[in-house]
Amino acid sequence: MNFHYQSQQDYLERFLTHLTVVRNLSEATLKAYRCDLNGLFAWLARENAPVLDQQTLLQYFEMLQQERNLKAKSLHRKFISIRQYCEFLNQENISCETFFRFNSRKFILPKALPKTLSMREVRDLIEATQDEYEALESEYHKKICLRDSVILELLFCLGLRIGEISQMNVDDYNREEETLLIHGKGRKERMLFLSSPAVAKKLMGWLKFRDCFRPSCNALFVNKYGDRLSIYSVENIFEKYKRKSMINPMATPHYLRHSFATQLLNNGATIRDVQELLGHNSIVSTQIYTEVSYARKKEVMMRYNERNFLF
């Protein structure tokens, strides 16, 4: 297929429209597709490549591996984006090229276990917000601290992603049923029950003070200007109390989600239960947590290993 930069840009827009209509992908996902494909187009333009075919694609991925030293996860994502784009070109009869002679198994993904916090670390993190709240004299800063405490509580109590925290709206919380509507990845929604009375009480406290910030939107969590709290603000909140509590310095907000899932399995929840609560499409994504659920493994071995009862 002949390569013309402007033509590929036009095809890209058609491809993204197709993804929006057919698969209803989120803006963040569409942005990732655009970034991956523009990276390919820019490289082809710099190399003065006359065609987009299997040979140039192979050279591109070799460059990403050998010169840019991209990790397997990044290579795999780009492979998926570019492959789907090429399939779209063929489906739309824009091209009849066989673009790939290799598959994604070329990029072996390392099996990284989910990183978690101990329950002691989770307690220390939450207690850091409580200690700060009690030490503050300014009512304004107390309200900010309460907001931050609720955010950290929900990250662990419900196993949420930071994007899901940011996208929460006031009317997503049903006070009578004590449920929260979660807007997950890929525009998927799930309903979660707020099982902790202590967290529910904190959330109600924040809702009482939220209007003091003169919200400009319906966001559940707002900043001092009344605007929706961004994912970067949520990350900063976690970083602040991570330092104060002196827990694992490498921890990220996602550690709380991993800890939530692992503790559910440790306490007897089924893998299907955890899959639904986390909002995973496939149970394969959830099964990784069984690898770190030591307590559950120990229980199974103690209860069901026949060797324990021979003599």
Catalytic-role residue among 147, 257, 258, 296: 257
Catalytic-role residue among 85, 241, 255, 289: 289
Task: Output 252-258 pairs: Cβ under 8 A, ≥24 positions apart.
Answer: 253/155, 253/162, 254/161, 254/162, 255/115, 255/116, 255/117, 256/117, 256/122, 256/152, 256/155, 256/156, 256/159, 257/155, 257/159, 257/160, 257/161, 258/114, 258/115, 258/116, 258/289, 258/292
Helix (H) or strand (E) run with residue 190 in it: strand 189-193
pLDDT at 109 over 60: no
Model pLDDT for residues 29-51, shown as the tens digit of each residue: 899 999 999 999 999 999 998 98
Catalytic-role residue among 77, 147, 210, 254: 254
**Per-residue model confidence (pLDDT) at position 170:** 96
Q: Where are the domain boundaries for CATH 1.10.150 in the chain?
A: 5-106
Q: Where are the domain boundaries for CATH 1.10.443.10 in the chain?
A: 119-249
Q: What is the pairing mode between strands 173-174 and 189-193?
A: unpaired
Catalytic-role residue among 18, 34, 106, 185: 185
Model pLDDT for residues 167-192, shown as the tens digit of each residue: 999 999 999 999 999 998 877 899 99
Number of separate helices (H) and strands (E) present in the chain: 13, 3
Which residues, in sequence order, are CB contacts of 37 under 8 Å at separation 6+?
8, 12, 15, 81, 82, 85
Model pLDDT for residues 147-162, shown as the tens digit of each residue: 999 999 999 999 999 9
Catalytic-role residue among 34, 106, 183, 280: 280
280 an active-site residue? yes
**Per-residue model confidence (pLDDT) at position 105:** 61
Q: Between 3.90.1170.30, 1.10.443.10, 2.40.220.10, 3.40.50.620, what CATH number should domain 119-249 receive? A: 1.10.443.10
Sign of CA dihedral 93, 94, 98, 104: negative
Higher pLDDT, 73 or 190: 190
Average of per-residue pLDDT across 239-249: 96
Out of 1-15, 183-197, 223-237, give the one with best mean pLDDT: 223-237
Distance (Å, whole) CA 234 – CA 236: 5
Higher pLDDT, 71 or 137: 137
Is 76:106 a contact under the CB 8 Å cutoff? no
Catalytic-role residue among 77, 161, 210, 242: 161
Higher pLDDT, 197 or 111: 197
**Per-residue model confidence (pLDDT) at position 207:** 96
**Per-residue model confidence (pLDDT) at position 71:** 82
Is 77:32 a contact under the CB 8 Å cutoff? yes
Is 242:251 a contact under the CB 8 Å cutoff? yes
pLDDT at 269 over 70: yes
What is the average pLDDT value for the chain, to the nearest integer? 90
Task: Give the pLDDT band of residue 308 (cuts 50, 70, 90).
Answer: confident
106 an active-site residue? no
> Which CATH topology does 5-106 take?
DNA polymerase; domain 1 (1.10.150)
31 an active-site residue? no
Helix (H) or strand (E) run with residue 197 in it: helix 197-210
33 an active-site residue? no
Share of the chain above pLDDT 70, in %: 95
Distance (Å, whole) CA 35 – CA 30: 9
Q: How far is CA 245 from CA 124, 150, 156, 293, in A?
A: 6, 16, 16, 25
254 an active-site residue? yes
Distance (Å, whole) CA 199 – CA 14: 46
Distance (Å, whole) CA 244 – CA 126: 10
Structure tokens at 167: 């996208």
Distance (Å, whole) CA 222 – CA 147: 9
Task: Give the pLDDT band of residue 106 (cuts 50, 70, 90).
Answer: low
257 an active-site residue? yes
